[in-house]
Amino acid sequence: MSSTSPPPGPDPHRLQGLPPVIGPGARVLVLGSMPGGESLRRAQYYAHPRNDFWRIVENVFGAARDASYDARLQSLVDQGIALWDVLGECRRKGSLDADIDPASMRTNDIAGLLASAPGIGHIAFNGALAEKVFRQRIAWNDRADITMARLPSTSPANASLRFDDKLAAWAPSLRWSR
């Protein structure tokens, strides 16, 4: 007698990213790797309360970090900032980039986004993995007019860097949009 087991259920560690946030006047694209667990649960970029991204945005543009998520996104769009992640899908246990299974990475269509937004002239990578995956896996038309900067991760896991140092690194890239 043989027994068959039911088909496996969905993989709880297989993650889907968030859609891009972009307006018609986008000039800077901020690329993360993959949203953390709290961001995915809330379907909001940089949702972990200890992530420094919204605090940095508040310091650079005066956009209140305690405003509604929609208001914060609108503030970014008004400033010419677009958000997305290099990964659209991956397998990861927990929230750390180091826990992403490289074989499971599926990239977003960054090339398509850049083609549809010719005003983007600067890409700001939120952390080392975002830049690494972009450079290794994203096939794009290398536009000479686009500058790039790898910035320190705003993640709470990057606690070795003081907030003032993160702000000093991030401010020029965000202000590039002006």
Exposed, middle or buried, 167 (CB in 10 Å: 0-12/13-18/19+)?
Answer: middle
Judge whether 97 lies within some domain: yes
The reply to whether 119 falls in a domain is yes
Q: Is residue 58 part of a domain?
A: yes
Confidence grade of residue 76 (pLDDT, cut at 50, 70, 90)? very high
Q: Which of 51, 59, 108, 126 is catalytic?
A: 51
What's the domain range around 148?
16-175
Catalytic site includes residue 51: yes
Helix, strand or coil for residue 165? helix
Residue 9 in any domain: the answer is no
- pLDDT score of 7: 55
pTM of the model: 0.90
Domain CATH number, residue 122: 3.40.470.10
Q: Is residue 6 part of a domain?
A: no
pLDDT value for 34: 94
CA–centroid distance for 93 within its chain: 18
Residue at 130 is within a domain: yes
Q: Residue 150 is encoded by which pair of tokens?
A: 């790898």
Q: What does pLDDT average to over the chain?
A: 91
pLDDT for the residue numbered 1 = 46
Residue 167 lies in a domain: yes
CA distance 12 to 23: 32
pLDDT digits (tens, 9 = 90+) for 1-12: 445 555 565 676
In-domain check, residue 8: no
**Which residues, 6+ apart, have CB-to-CB distance to 107 below 8 Å?**
86, 87, 88, 133, 137, 138
| Residue 66 dihedral angles phi and psi, to the nearest 5° | -95, 5
pLDDT, tens digit, for every residue of 93-129?
A: 888 888 899 999 999 999 999 999 999 999 999 999 9
Q: How many domains does the chain have?
A: 1
Give the least confident one: 2-11, 29-38, 46-55, 101-110.
2-11
Q: What is the mean pLDDT of residues 133-149?
A: 85
Band of residue 49 on the pLDDT scale cut at 50, 70, 90: very high
